[in-house]
Structure 1
Amino acid sequence: MNRKLTDILVGRPHLDELPESAKRAYYITSNSNVPIQNLEEIAQYIWNRIDKVNVVSIFTGFYSKYGYETDGPVGSLILADFFAKANISVQICCETDLLDIMRPIASELSLSKLISFTKFENFFYKKNSILITIERPGENSRGICHSMNGKKINHSILPIELEIQKNPPNAWISIGDGGNELGTGYYRTAVEKVIRYGKQCKCGCGGGIAAYKKADRCILSTTSNFGAVSLSLELAKQNNIEWKVSTIKVTKIIESLNKLGIKDGVTEKAGTVDGISVDLRNKMYDLLKFSF
């Protein structure tokens, strides 16, 4: 296991600079009683199954009190762009209102035309898929989704967990940062221990915000975007695919989302993601690039 890369993912080199909202993955993995699932093995797991599936399906969209947030859509677009450029069929799926924002951004930024955007009702039409959920609300043990502030998410969340149970994908990879994301139940005990509202939420359901279901593999990182970009870089490295992700590209996607009302889910500000400043984000991505 590349310990340096694992540390970079959860923000260890930047702990003194990171806002508390971006330290959750570090707290969870540092206090977990289960082995940390490392990026290299997860990428190998995907490549070992890629020839057996028809499509890579990426599902994102987390609705906070401010609306949909920038964490998730950015990483989804970049990871989808990688698969498309590797000549692997890929589709992005989310609620229609977010889908209608992401589709024109992909065109505007000249991302691969091979990326398809699929409405939820058609998402599992191609059942033989690798499913990657990025910053997607996960139900707790009582079947309720929560925000990090302990409140029930009242916005209409499409029932993807029921669909996963009815039509299991060939492989399911979850990417999150705080332990309330779909598929991050692997780290549930640690989330309940170290994350505020992890065990006791505010909505009265008694289940806390910790996600219950476990994906086949789980990536925790400072932001879910950071985890998705890191996965694309590791996938490219393992198969000798020419692939780079510049800080300029990341910033352009964030700016495009901001113009259409998608903001930081923690601060409601433009430019930042989960409270991480532009300057710090650039430093983090620059350090990440040195690992590949």
Structure 2
Amino acid sequence: MERKDVTEATREKVKNIERLITVDIGGRGIITPIYRESFTVQEELPTLLAAKKIKNRVDQRDYLFITTGFPVPPLFIQETDGPIGAISLARGIEKISEVNPIIVAEEEALPIIKATALAGGLNAVHPDEVKKANHAVALLGFPKEKKQALKKAEEVIERFSPSLLLAVEKVGANEAGVYHNMGGHDISRYAAKIEPLLRQAEDNGVPTIGIGDGGNEIGMGKIKKLIKEEVPYGDTCRCECGKGIAADFATDILVPATVSNWGAHAIIATLSLLVEKDLLHSPEIEAEMLMDAAKAGSVDGTSGYPNGWCDGISTSTHASLMRILKEILK
């Protein structure tokens, strides 16, 4: 039996992909309700929605925006969750088009993202050079001050007119405009004020896709009520705002995963099924990206160690996930 969009065989593979990336391996107890609500609200498999949107929107020589960045205490260094997913998206989409990906993040995160890009087989260049470079991703710093962010958002949307905007593990503000970590603490002074970029994109008809794992990331506004009810500090945080960590901005499509990087990989795996071509990087490259990000200063968001782990999960486990995803594609 076939549906209008994909075959039942493909749909079953996508279901397996989503089962894999939502295994509660760390026992946090939140991914299951987050995933269920995301599926209910969107009435479809989230990664399939995202992959279809990418396939239909990304044309030759287009610009594509991918935003990431989550500084973690005590030194507010960029964590390993986010950059790897951003590069996974960029390199996977680049394999089916001549798209020009631009990764937008805090200025301090750019050296880490550059190291990750190089490990992933992409050149890292200035936005002015990405259109003439081969197999490249551009890096763009974004302001932490609201007025500057508003101005920057208008400038870059007008200049690049992206076909799509994806956010992977990008910390998002709550309804009071405050950015929090999972512990309920205010990290606003360290976070790029990315919402103006997303709103400017939406005003210009640019579809948005959010990937997150905890409820305080861009996109989770789509299921904000659930986040407030099910996630620790979702409704009431530890800072003066008292409004909780639930991110307010709702992207057009929301892809939840146990680890946000895994959500990005799952989108590329599903896109691989749609175009009948393996777009995923190897398990070895996954491990190399994690380790090179750590060597550039990135830390495991759970432990704070620069050890190539991500969300408290070992490098080898992340590599193994890639191996299983590739098996599902066969």
Distance 1:250-1:200 versus aligned 2 partners, 3 A rule = same
Q: Secondary structure at the match of 1:56?
A: strand
- Indicate whether 1:252 and 2:294 are aligned: no
Is the Cα contact below 8 Å between 1:37 and 1:218 reproduced in 2? Answer: no
Residues 150-204 of structure 1, C-alpha deviation per residue, up to 9 Å, x if partnerless? 0111443222202322342511000110111011111212211111001111003
1:184-195 to 2 correspondences below 5 Å: 184-195=220-231
Distance 1:237-1:256 versus aligned 2 partners, 3 A rule = same
- Specify the alignment match of 1:101 in structure 2: 112
The Cα of 1:138 is off from its aligned counterpart by 0.9
Instruction: Pick one of 56, 60, 80 that aligns with 2:68.
Output: 60
Q: Residue 86 of structure 2 aligns to which amino acid in structure 1? A: S
Instruction: Pick one of 87, 105, 118 that aligns with 2:140.
Output: 118
1:48-197 to 2 correspondences below 5 Å: 48-51=56-59, 54-66=62-74, 67-86=77-96, 87-107=98-118, 109-111=120-122, 113-120=135-142, 121=152, 123-124=156-157, 125-168=159-202, 170-197=206-233
Q: Residue 250 of structure 1 aligns to which amino acid in structure 2? A: E
Could you tell me how far apart the structure 2 residues matched to 1:81 and 1:261 are?
Answer: 22
Is the Cα contact below 8 Å between 1:53 and 1:128 reproduced in 2? Answer: no
Is the Cα contact below 8 Å between 2:287 and 2:318 reproduced in 1? Answer: no
Is the Cα contact below 8 Å between 1:193 and 1:199 reproduced in 2? Answer: yes
Could you tell me how far apart the structure 2 residues matched to 1:78 and 1:267 are?
Answer: 24
The Cα of 1:238 is off from its aligned counterpart by 0.8
The Cα of 1:53 is off from its aligned counterpart by 8.5
Could you tell me how far apart the structure 1 residues matched to 2:296 and 2:227 are?
Answer: 33
- Specify the alignment match of 1:4 in structure 2: 16
Q: Secondary structure at the match of 1:290?
A: helix
- Indicate whether 1:198 and 2:220 are aligned: no
Instruction: Pick one of 14, 19, 27 that aligns with 2:26.
Output: 19
Unmatched 5+ residue regions in structure 1?
none
Is the Cα contact below 8 Å between 1:29 and 1:36 reproduced in 2? Answer: no
Q: Secondary structure at the match of 1:132?
A: strand
| Structure 1 segments of 4+ aligned residues over 6 angstroms from their partners | none
Could you tell me how far apart the structure 1 residues matched to 2:230 and 2:101 are?
Answer: 36
- Specify the alignment match of 1:29 in structure 2: 35
The Cα of 1:82 is off from its aligned counterpart by 1.5
Unmatched 5+ residue regions in structure 2?
1-10, 124-134, 143-151
Deviates more, 1:115-124 or 1:231-240: 115-124
- Indicate whether 1:286 and 2:292 are aligned: no
Is the Cα contact below 8 Å between 1:84 and 1:115 reproduced in 2? Answer: no
- Indicate whether 1:274 and 2:311 are aligned: yes
- Specify the alignment match of 1:262 in structure 2: 298
The Cα of 1:38 is off from its aligned counterpart by 2.3
The Cα of 1:109 is off from its aligned counterpart by 4.8
Q: How large is the Cα RMSD of the aligned pairs?
A: 2.3
Q: Secondary structure at the match of 2:237?
A: coil
Deviates more, 1:219-228 or 1:119-128: 119-128
Q: Residue 27 of structure 2 aligns to which amino acid in structure 1? A: E
TM-score calculated relative to the size of structure 2: 0.79
**How many residues are paired up?**
286
The Cα of 1:117 is off from its aligned counterpart by 1.9
- Indicate whether 1:41 and 2:52 are aligned: no
Distance 1:261-1:97 versus aligned 2 partners, 3 A rule = same
TM-score calculated relative to the size of structure 1: 0.89
Residues 179-236 of structure 1, C-alpha deviation per residue, up to 9 Å, x if partnerless? 1101111121221111100111100312111111210001000111111111112112
Percent identical across equivalent pairs?
28
Deviates more, 1:64-73 or 1:164-173: 164-173
Deviates more, 1:245-254 or 1:231-240: 231-240
The Cα of 1:52 is off from its aligned counterpart by 9.3
Distance 1:211-1:52 versus aligned 2 partners, 3 A rule = farther
The Cα of 1:31 is off from its aligned counterpart by 5.9
Could you tell me how far apart the structure 2 residues matched to 1:213 and 1:52 are?
Answer: 29
Q: Secondary structure at the match of 1:209?
A: coil
Q: Secondary structure at the match of 2:190?
A: coil
Distance 1:155-1:259 versus aligned 2 partners, 3 A rule = farther
